[in-house]
Amino acid sequence: MPTVPSVALNNGVEIPQLGFGVFQVPDDETAAAVSAALQAGYRSIDTAAVYGNEAGVGAALAASGIARDELFVTTKLWNADQGHDSTLRAFHASLAKLGLEYVDLYLVHWPTPARDLYRDSWRAIEKLVADGRIRAAGVSNFQPAHLRRLLEGSSLVPAVNQIELHPGLQQRELRALHADLGIVTEAWSPLAQGAVLAEPALTEIAGRHGRSPAQVVLRWHLQLGNVVIPKSVMPARIHENIDLFGFVLSDEEMTAIAALDRGLRTGPDPDTLN
């Protein structure tokens, strides 16, 4: 089974650099997908309250027999639940669905800037960290201005910012800011949901290594230092997406992929999603 390297977060907690995402997986199919991922060697699972499949994730974790401290579970606070007291309620509802005593990473899913509640939500998250219910607290889809505003009111620096990131949207400004602030960059839709996999530059590199374009893209993320959470419900792809540790992209290949950046957003714009 592949050994996935870990990345140290700013509080010393270690996150596997590769995890398994379950966005758009129906709850009744989630346990099977997560079980396949655990069997393939994934130990980090990324879900969210709004995905409606925390119960399916929890069922697979419980059935796996894998020790809790070998697992890394992420879930997220949904936008409608932002605010101090509603965050506390939503967090405990997530914990109950997952069947867990604590989560490894809890993220504010979107800043929803027009509602301006993320600082209140963060104060609730600070308490949950102090109570031992959250090992690491982070955010998702935060733009530089949202990160700066959050940090004006709190000394708890997010451990992670989970953002849309793939060869078509390389997020150079945010990655540089994260490096300055000690925030780990986690890439969602790391494969751009498949939208970049036919790029000639990627198929050419893939052919050279005898790998798939998806493996090349995931390997590119790992070599940049990103944490990645590809999703698949197909066992063959679940295996393919973790089989990344037997080849290395050259500097020239990394540069060729860097040239594919074109501002391609497959998901919502965080500045306007409210």
Q: Which residues are catalytic?
A: 51
Residue 189, beta-bridge partner list: none
Contact region for ligand NDP (CB under 6 A) — 20-28, 53-61, 94-102, 170-178? 20-28
Report how far apart, in Å, the C-alpha atoms of 253 and of each of 128, 204, 220, 223 are. Answer: 43, 10, 9, 11
Among 16, 21, 113, 138, binds ligand NDP (CB under 6 A): 21
**Residue 83 vs 168, nearer CB to ligand NDP:** 168
Residue 75 found at the interface with ligand NDP (CB under 6 A): no
- Residue closer to ligand NDP, measured from CB, 58 or 230: 230
For residue 53, what are the CA distances in angstroms to 23, 24, 45, 160, 208? 9, 9, 12, 22, 39
DSSP string, 136-199: EEEEES--HHHHHHHHHS-S---SEEEEE-BTTB--HHHHHHHHHHT-EEEEESTTGGGTTTT-
Torsion of CA 89, 93, 98, 104, to 10 degrees: -10
Is 240 a binding residue for ligand NDP by CB under 6 A? The answer is: yes
Which residue from 192, 186, 188, 171 is spatially nearest to 258, judged by alpha carbons? 171
Is 23 a binding residue for ligand NDP by CB under 6 A? The answer is yes
Query: Looking at beta carbons only, is 143 or 232 nearer to ligand NDP?
Result: 232
237 in contact with ligand NDP (CB under 6 A) = yes
Which residues from 131-190 bind ligand NDP, rule CB under 6 A?
140-141, 162, 188-190
Q: Taking the CA atoms of the chain, what radius of gyration do you get in angstroms?
A: 18
Tokens of 182: 């000690």
Report d(CA 171, CA 183) in Å as an integer: 14
Closest listed residue to residue 211, CA positions, set 248, 167, 168, 252 = 248
The only residue of 229, 244, 249, 256 in contact with ligand NDP, by rule CB under 6 A: 229
Does residue 2 belong to the site contacting ligand NDP (CB under 6 A)? Answer: no
Counting contacts by CB under 6 A, is residue 233 touching ligand NDP? yes
CB nearer to ligand NDP: give 85 or 204. 204
Mask for 84-123, x = binds ligand NDP (CB under 6 A): -------------------------x--------------
Is 22 a binding residue for ligand NDP by CB under 6 A? The answer is: yes
Question: What does the binding site for ligand NDP look like in residue numbers (CB under 6 A)?
Answer: 21-23, 46, 109, 140-141, 162, 188-194, 197, 212, 214, 229-234, 237, 240-241, 267
